[in-house]
A and B are shown apart, each in its own frame.
Chain A
Amino acid sequence: MSVASTAHHEQTDSVWRDLRQLLSFRNISAIYIWVAMVILFSVLAPETFPTLDTVRIVLTDQAVTAVLAIGLVIPLAAGAFDLSIGSQLGLGAILVAWLLRTQGLGLVPAIIGTLAIGACVGLANGLLVTKAKISSFITTLGMSSVLLALISWVSQDSQILNLGSGFQQIANRQILSIPMSVYIMVVLAICVWYILDNTYLGRAVYATGGNAEAARLAGIGTDRVIIVSLISCSLLATVAGIVLSSSLATGDPTVGPPYMLPAFAAAFLGSTQFRNGRFNILGTIVAVYVLATGVKGLQLIGAPVWIPELFNGVALLIAVAVTRRRSSRKRARSAETTSLTADQAA
């Protein structure tokens, strides 16, 4: 009886410990910051900020950024950078418009064609990184410039209009007064989350990012993992581009690059949340919306137009600084815990 009750005690204790750990500021600081911002802006802009409209606008505006950031998490988890995501989004946006309007393709072939070209860009990135052994940083930096040239060439540097109402419906049709773009984002987030967090494929991605050589020696095809993760990222960036063109009803050659920084900021900020320094989808989505809430709030209280850039840049720097600091502290602590545990063991 007493044994059973101690066991029970231990169990409740550990449940409490897990819960405390789960809700600790270290683990979910972004959520606390989010709540604080919501309260702050609600007080400062009581007329405009705490409204359903604001919620809907933020949710919709950020769907494209969120899709892009979800894509970016995959190569980052596998230890590869993709600096070309902004241009890839731009390419997707302009290609789909060009195929629909200039080439006169149907809706489905245009979208499939755009996705196929997007995948090819990812494949090219992947092959350059794994076979030509160029660092992902340089590869994708170079690729982004190539893509910008391609966008400029395809579009003749002008917008492509009149994409048809069918195409516009993709992002803009509303269910429960929320546009499709948000649903698309949620579905993609769930798929990528499932694969990264719940399958051995996801494990292989994280292992490759953690130590590619050790992963290779454990029988993981690390080159393939990197190629596939870069292709997935390209596909998601292309989807983001298609969704963006659809919601704007325009193919605009200049839309891509500004999306890169918010996506990076969200992915890095997201990595400080929930999973103890690991890139993860849930953290990234939360980060996208925390950043967007901050930007929106600042705009509504009348901050100048350059605020979003500043806000995202500072957030990226802080997020990376926090990760670095945390990992160096963890290393220092681990040295001490090993001596403690060894002492207890002896």
Chain B
Amino acid sequence: MTGAHGRTLVRVEGLTKAFGATTALGGVDLTIHAGEVVAVVGHNGSGKSTLVKLLAGFHSPDGGTVDTRTSGGSPTELRFIHQDLGLVGSLSTVENLALGTNTVRPWRRLRRSDERREARELVRRLGVDADVDAPIEMLSPAERTIVAIARALRGWDELPEVVLVLDEPTAALHGAEVDQLMDVVRRVAEHGAGVLFISHRLDEVLDVADTIVALRNGRVVGNLLRSEADYARLVELVAGHAVEELDRRDTGRGTEVLRVRGLSGGAIRLFDASVHAGEIVGLAGILGSGRDDVCAAVFGAAHRTSGAVAVHGREVAAGDIRDSIRQGVAFVPGDRHRHGAVMTMTAVENLVSVLIPGATSPWHRVRRRSELREAARWFDACGVLPAQPEMELTQFSGGNQQKIVLAKWLRTQPQLLLLEEPTQGVDVGARAAIHRLIVDAAERGAAVLVASSETKELAQLCDRVLVLADGVVVEELSGSELTENRILHASVPA
């Protein structure tokens, strides 16, 4: 597709928007052609969301133009898929696709079979074989996104000039699901639509885009063809400087901290592992491989059907989280909003929310001054910005929230650190900072277990990676064998 674009569908010129004294967007130029996937990348706060909101007409621009007419003069329609997809979870795909189509005669009798046929065709055209009668909430996150795309593209045949705008569509998706979605995005472009793809995940952008626009501080700092771009170049553009690669010095293994024997529960079957002090062990695998069930089962937060977990030779019982914490186990869950933090409380309240059993009784008086002093130290150590510990957690950016959640557990001085997707939804700068914190913890003698869908992260961070498939470890990689390719290769069951 590269180079041979179709007609111009949308032309954005000099788009500018300021909030108060801060320029959110300063003179952005952007062109989308038919059949082209244009990716916009940037940190949180680089102006990506402002751009989407201006295109959607949510804000009006202070300057510049958005021209939504093709070179031929016919109008282009922009269709948006926002992060929360706007689907009704309890209704089926068929019903969701039909929503809003008969507003003219709401009392008209439903033609279920027609609706079902249309829905099935639409979804199949996107190359997905989902059950169109199942409630949306039963579908995987990727399938849900695809249904949202199908809905946005409804009636597209009669109206060929469409630009699909996807705002961070992969934020909630895991590795294999991302691939599924990327296929759909490419298919949509092949059918002649333009796609504007907003993301901060650089590798997937490199995967799908024809043209990449990098934003920093509201300005376009790079407008590259796919062939001109590589990962390092994008990182440099987005961050404004080259982000130093993580250097792990080999600290050698200490004593054995974690020993897991025959652990089953969730998707995992008879999982064995041993992690030593100072060691970072990764857990890889596709969605459903059991990768995401290990940490919670080891921590005792999820049900175990069998097996034994011991930390420093002492049994960690399932279901007794206070006991796990007492034995020096820390668990940073993958879903920050649902499991990781109390978003409505302040940063400092979250930071000190893990009571170290034995050290503080619940009747203990809260000492606000010393808490704030401690928070200031952690904010400094983890580089949390803005340095306002009394701000509610929701008001921090995703990367800073994640640093606070990590700090909350590092504060307990864990012997064993269990991490799920530690850098999900986090920009490049914060990602490097979080990796640094993890490595520091390991160098101080913690044993670390990291489950991640990002193979690049695992290859950079870990001493050893266990690859899971169908609930069992199928490969163990370390040293020179530990590469992204080997992980990917082992993840996919033959």
Closest to A340 in B: B22
Bitwise, A177-217 to B at CB < 8 A (1) or not (0) is: 00000000000000000000111111110110011011111
Which residue of B331, B342, B357, B396 has the most chain A CB atoms within 10 A of its CB atom? Answer: B342
Check A338 against B45 for contact (C-beta < 8 Å).
Answer: yes
Collect the chain B residues with CB atoms within 8 Å of residue A339's CB. Answer: 19, 22, 24, 44-45, 47, 49-50
Collect the chain A residues with CB atoms within 8 Å of residue B264's CB. Answer: none
Collect the chain B residues with CB atoms within 8 Å of residue A341's CB. Answer: 45, 385-386, 397
State whether the Cβ of B98 lies closer than 8 Å to any Cβ in chain A. no
Which residue of A215, A278, A331 has the most chain B CB atoms within 10 A of its CB atom? Answer: A215
Bitwise, B7-47 to A at CB < 8 A (1) or not (0) is: 00000000000011010100000000000000000011111
Closest to A346 in B: B217
Q: For the complex of A and B, list the 5 residue pairs with the smallest distance between their C-beta atoms, beginning with the closest.
A: A342-B45, A210-B342, A339-B45, A201-B362, A334-B395
Are A200 and B354 CB-contacts (below 8 A) given A221-B322, A338-B396, A342-B44?
A: no
Check A204 against B394 for contact (C-beta < 8 Å).
Answer: no
What are 11 inter-chain pairs, A to B, with CB distance below 8 A?
A: A200-B363, A200-B364, A203-B366, A214-B338, A214-B339, A214-B340, A335-B49, A341-B45, A342-B397, A343-B24, A343-B217
State whether the Cβ of B134 lies closer than 8 Å to any Cβ in chain A. no
Collect the chain A residues with CB atoms within 8 Å of residue B50's CB. Answer: 339
Are A199 and B364 CB-contacts (below 8 A) given A217-B331, A339-B47?
A: yes
State whether the Cβ of B321 lies closer than 8 Å to any Cβ in chain A. yes
Collect the chain B residues with CB atoms within 8 Å of residue A215's CB. Answer: 342, 353
> In chain A between 290 and 345, which residues have their CB closer than 8 angstroms to a CB of chain B?
330-331, 333-345
Collect the chain A residues with CB atoms within 8 Å of residue B340's CB. Answer: 214, 217
Bitwise, B341-365 to A at CB < 8 A (1) or not (0) is: 1111100010011110100111111
Collect the chain A residues with CB atoms within 8 Å of residue B322's CB. Answer: 219, 221
State whether the Cβ of B240 lies closer than 8 Å to any Cβ in chain A. yes
State whether the Cβ of B333 lies closer than 8 Å to any Cβ in chain A. yes
Collect the chain A residues with CB atoms within 8 Å of residue B403's CB. Answer: none
Are A334 and B394 CB-contacts (below 8 A) given A203-B353, A345-B385?
A: yes
Check A199 against B362 for contact (C-beta < 8 Å).
Answer: yes
Collect the chain B residues with CB atoms within 8 Å of residue A203's CB. Answer: 349, 352-353, 366
Check B364 against A217 for contact (C-beta < 8 Å).
Answer: no
Check A219 against B354 for contact (C-beta < 8 Å).
Answer: yes
Check B19 against A217 for contact (C-beta < 8 Å).
Answer: no
State whether the Cβ of A161 lies closer than 8 Å to any Cβ in chain B. no
Collect the chain B residues with CB atoms within 8 Å of residue A335's CB. Answer: 49
- A-side residues, CB < 8 A to B, are 197-204, 206-207, 210-211, 213-221, 276-278, 330-331, 333-346
Are A217 and B49 CB-contacts (below 8 A) given A211-B343, A339-B44?
A: no
Check B343 against A346 for contact (C-beta < 8 Å).
Answer: no
Collect the chain B residues with CB atoms within 8 Å of residue A334's CB. Answer: 392, 394-395
Check B397 against A338 for contact (C-beta < 8 Å).
Answer: yes
State whether the Cβ of B325 lies closer than 8 Å to any Cβ in chain A. yes
Check A207 against B366 for contact (C-beta < 8 Å).
Answer: no
State whether the Cβ of B216 lies closer than 8 Å to any Cβ in chain A. yes
Check A200 against B360 for contact (C-beta < 8 Å).
Answer: yes
Closest to B409 in A: A218
CA distance A200 to B363 in the complex (A): 6
Collect the chain B residues with CB atoms within 8 Å of residue A342's CB. Answer: 43-46, 385, 397
State whether the Cβ of B310 lies closer than 8 Å to any Cβ in chain A. no
Closest to B44 in A: A342
CA distance A211 to B44 in the complex (A): 25
Check A217 against B363 for contact (C-beta < 8 Å).
Answer: no
State whether the Cβ of B218 lies closer than 8 Å to any Cβ in chain A. yes
**Given A338-B397, A346-B240, 4 further pairs, Cβ under 8 A:** A204-B362, A215-B353, A217-B321, A342-B44
Collect the chain A residues with CB atoms within 8 Å of residue B176's CB. Answer: none
CB distance from B349 to the nearest CB of A (A): 7
Collect the chain A residues with CB atoms within 8 Å of residue B46's CB. Answer: 342
Check A338 against B366 for contact (C-beta < 8 Å).
Answer: no
Collect the chain B residues with CB atoms within 8 Å of residue A214's CB. Answer: 338-342
Are A211 and B321 CB-contacts (below 8 A) given A339-B47, A339-B50, A346-B43?
A: no
Are A213 and B353 CB-contacts (below 8 A) given A201-B363, A339-B47, A342-B43?
A: no
Are A198 and B365 CB-contacts (below 8 A) given A214-B339, A217-B321, A219-B354?
A: yes
Check B342 against A211 for contact (C-beta < 8 Å).
Answer: yes
> In chain B between 370 and 396, which residues have their CB closer than 8 angstroms to a CB of chain A?
385-386, 392, 394-396
CB distance from B46 to the nearest CB of A (A): 8
Collect the chain B residues with CB atoms within 8 Å of residue A213's CB. Answer: 338-339
Check B395 against A337 for contact (C-beta < 8 Å).
Answer: yes
Check B344 against A210 for contact (C-beta < 8 Å).
Answer: yes
CA distance A203 to B345 in the complex (A): 10
Are A207 and B397 CB-contacts (below 8 A) given A216-B321, A217-B331, A346-B217?
A: no
State whether the Cβ of B152 lies closer than 8 Å to any Cβ in chain A. no
Check A211 against B341 for contact (C-beta < 8 Å).
Answer: yes
Closest to B301 in A: A217
CB distance from B59 to the nearest CB of A (A): 10
Collect the chain A residues with CB atoms within 8 Å of residue B216's CB. Answer: 346
CA distance A304 to B366 in the complex (A): 48
CB distance from A187 to the nearest CB of B (A): 18
CA distance A217 to B325 in the complex (A): 10
CB distance from B24 to the nearest CB of A (A): 6
Which residue of A217, A218, A221, A330 has the most chain B CB atoms within 10 A of its CB atom? Answer: A218
Check B366 against A198 for contact (C-beta < 8 Å).
Answer: yes
Collect the chain B residues with CB atoms within 8 Å of residue A211's CB. Answer: 338, 341-344
Collect the chain A residues with CB atoms within 8 Å of residue B342's CB. Answer: 206-207, 210-211, 214-215
CA distance A217 to B341 in the complex (A): 9
CB distance from B9 to the nearest CB of A (A): 27
Collect the chain A residues with CB atoms within 8 Å of residue B396's CB. Answer: 338
Closest to A204 in B: B362
Closest to B322 in A: A219
Q: Pick the residue among A206, A216, A331, A343 that contacts B394 (CB under 8 A).
A: A331
Collect the chain B residues with CB atoms within 8 Å of residue A219's CB. Answer: 321-322, 324-325, 354-355, 357
Closest to B356 in A: A219
CA distance A206 to B324 in the complex (A): 23
CB distance from B90 to the nearest CB of A (A): 17
Closest to B362 in A: A201
Closest to A210 in B: B342
CB distance from B117 to the nearest CB of A (A): 39
